[in-house]
């Protein structure tokens, strides 16, 4: 899919290599065009990890700087700020805190997500939903935070209260995962994918070639890519994994890795 571009600005290569919704990529390209033409800071909506990764590449190819913020550490969905020299203005992000008595009914991520979407709010207007035992904290675009807060008074059967807090007041995300060890012949993507999923190397190769494997949120077709500590590997239908550490060699000269599977 091509796109009409300004003279000297070729964005077609990004469309050719992008696996997601092409309309989202068009949105990112339009933001880049505005930032290139002005000296103002241009903010995006909340982006998925794949969208943020491709935006970073587009900005680098057009001599733009980009910063991302989604909230506290370990945020998945982030907002981008595009600028030439210096960023002006704060990220338009507020945190909506939802609290209530959940003694008789516990709520999960899907419950909060469904309630917000039922208000007619688009998914890109809010970021991560961090769920705790006493409620949730949701990162929302400033333009729509008040609207959401005023229109939520019940989730499922539980009455709730809302308030707006700063990012500094928000709690860190609770991320659940299982630790496990794997032995691999090399740090190649195909070798590690096979070990993480407990599959044959041939099966892992087929998944990679089919575009089912993402490395740091971007599809990677290169079997020989060398994996590093803290790399994230996501496989459709299998989940997401993180390479946490390289522990050393076995007696048979295979590498032992410490990995995490996110729950």
Q: Model confidence over 43-99: pLDDT tens digits? A: 999 999 889 988 998 998 888 999 999 998 778 899 999 999 889 999 999 999 999
In the prediction, which pLDDT does 9 show?
Answer: 59
Q: Which domains are delineated in the chain?
A: 12-83 (3.30.1370.160), 93-165 (3.30.70.330), 177-262 (3.10.290.10)
Q: Are 142 and 94 in contact (CB under 8 A)?
A: yes
CA distance 254 to 86: 47
Burial-class residue 6 by CB neighbours within 10 Å (0-12, 13-18, 19+).
exposed
Is 0.85 topped by the overall pTM? no
- Mean pLDDT of residues grouped by 10 in the chain (263 residues)? 43 67 88 91 95 90 92 89 92 96 91 97 97 95 96 95 95 88 96 97 96 89 95 94 94 94 89
CA distance 231 to 92: 29
Q: Are 184 and 191 in contact (CB under 8 A)?
A: yes
């Amino acid at each position: 899919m091509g796109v009409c571009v300004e003279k000297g600005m070729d964005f077609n290569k990004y469309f050719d290599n992008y696996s997601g919704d092409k309309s989202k990529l068009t949105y990112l390209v339009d933001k880049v065009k505005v930032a290139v033409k002005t000296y103002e800071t241009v903010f995006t909506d909340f982006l998925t990890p794949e969208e943020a990764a491709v935006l970073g590449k587009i900005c680098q190819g057009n001599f733009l700087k980009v910063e991302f913020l989604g909230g506290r550490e370990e945020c998945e969905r982030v907002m981008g700020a595009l600028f030439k020299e210096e960023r002006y203005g704060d990220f338009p992000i507020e945190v909506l805190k939802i609290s209530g008595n959940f003694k008789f009914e516990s709520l999960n991520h899907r419950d909060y997500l469904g309630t917000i979407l039922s208000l007619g709010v688009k998914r890109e207007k809010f970021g991560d939903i961090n769920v705790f035992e006493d409620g949730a904290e949701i990162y929302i675009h400033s333009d729509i935070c008040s609207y959401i807060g005023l229109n939520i008074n019940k989730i499922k059967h539980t009455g709730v209260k809302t308030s707006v807090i700063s990012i500094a007041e928000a709690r860190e995300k609770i991320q659940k995962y299982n630790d496990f060890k794997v032995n691999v012949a090399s740090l190649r993507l195909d070798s590690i994918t096979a070990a993480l999923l407990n599959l044959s190397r041939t099966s892992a190769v087929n998944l990679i070639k089919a575009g089912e494997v993402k490395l740091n949120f971007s599809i990677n077709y290169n079997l020989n890519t060398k994996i590093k500590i803290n790399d994230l590997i996501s496989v459709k239908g299998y989940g997401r994994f993180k390479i946490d550490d390289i522990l050393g060699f076995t007696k048979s000269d295979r590498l032992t890795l410490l990995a995490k599977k996110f729950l």
